[in-house]
């Protein structure tokens, strides 16, 4: 298994993953198998060796999953919408149903995303995200009641699914615009981002 979290300068090819499976992300909770039938999804799973799968994000949370026992991988795009829909749990359920994966065996890699300090949102977003968690305070940002920490929310969703091996990338996309595309930074500074995103990719 190989995986990489790209910066604003990277493509699948520049990271060494030619022939990657491309999808159109919908900010929803569609999970698909990378078999060529469907191309609209925010989570992709595969057990096909040599087929890279990826998601793109610019503040949203990318999550890569690997099960070395069931030999399968997943790439997930979880913005606040996907997090509120718990696309992480849905993807883990798909890995289990399709490949017999067990959460105990999963290795999870949470990628660069906007941090809690930088992510002020509406009350509805905070409620929608915390409603998915048994631990309601896991994604709350101390001293910032209008903010939500999406990386912590996703990590808690993984924990509540039974995943034990979780690595969280320390970088905040909003705080490092020279390295990453950031939706919030672009809007705040009148920068045309176009379709540019940071790529997160994994391959068996």
Residues forming contacts to Zn ion in the complex (CB under 5 A) are 115, 118, 172, 174-175
**DSSP annotation string for the chain:** -EEEE--TT--TTTTT-TTPBP-B--SS--EEESSSS--B-SEEEE--TT--EEEEESSSEEEEEEETTTTEEEEEEE-HHHHHTTHHHHHHHHHHHHH---GGG-EEEE--B--GGG-B--HHHHHHHHTT-SSTTTTEETTEEEEE-HHHHHHHHHHHHT--EEEE---BTTT-TTTS--HHHHHHTT---TT--EEEEEE-
32 versus 118: smaller Cβ distance to Zn ion: 118
Least Å distance, CB 70 to Zn ion, is: 35
8 versus 174: smaller Cβ distance to Zn ion: 174
30 versus 78: smaller Cβ distance to Zn ion: 78
63 versus 114: smaller Cβ distance to Zn ion: 114
The Cα angle at residue 138 between residues 137 and 144, in degrees rounded to 5? 65
φ, ψ dihedrals at 145, nearest 5°: -65, -15
Least Å distance, CB 116 to Zn ion, is: 8
95 versus 114: smaller Cβ distance to Zn ion: 114
Least Å distance, CB 67 to Zn ion, is: 31
Q: Crossing angle, helix 123-130 and helix 150-161, to 10 degrees? A: 20
Least Å distance, CB 117 to Zn ion, is: 5
38 versus 169: smaller Cβ distance to Zn ion: 169
Least Å distance, CB 185 to Zn ion, is: 10
Least Å distance, CB 176 to Zn ion, is: 8
């Amino acid at each position: 298994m190989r995986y990489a979290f790209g910066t604003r300068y990277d493509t699948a090819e520049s990271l060494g993953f030619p022939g990657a499976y491309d999808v159109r992300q919908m900010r929803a909770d569609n999970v698909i198998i990378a078999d060529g039938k469907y191309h609209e999804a925010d989570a992709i799973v595969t057990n096909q060796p040599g087929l890279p799968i990826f998601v793109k994000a610019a503040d949203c949370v990318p999550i890569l999953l690997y099960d070395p026992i069931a030999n399968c991988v997943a790439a997930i795009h979880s913005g606040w919408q996907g997090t509120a829909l718990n696309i992480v749990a849905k993807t883990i359920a798909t890995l289990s149903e399709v490949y017999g994966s067990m959460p105990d065996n999963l290795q999870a890699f949470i990628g660069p995303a906007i941090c809690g300090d930088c992510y002020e949102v509406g009350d509805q977003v905070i409620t929608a995200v915390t409603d998915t968690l048994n631990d309601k305070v896991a994604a709350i940002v101390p001293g910032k009641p209008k903010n939500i920490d999406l990386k912590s929310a996703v990590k808690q969703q993984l924990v509540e699914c039974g995943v034990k091996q979780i690595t969280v990338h320390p970088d905040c996309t909003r705080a490092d615009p020279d390295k990453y595309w950031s939706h919030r930074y672009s809007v705040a500074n009148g920068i045309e981002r176009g379709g540019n995103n940071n790529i997160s990719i994994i391959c068996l």
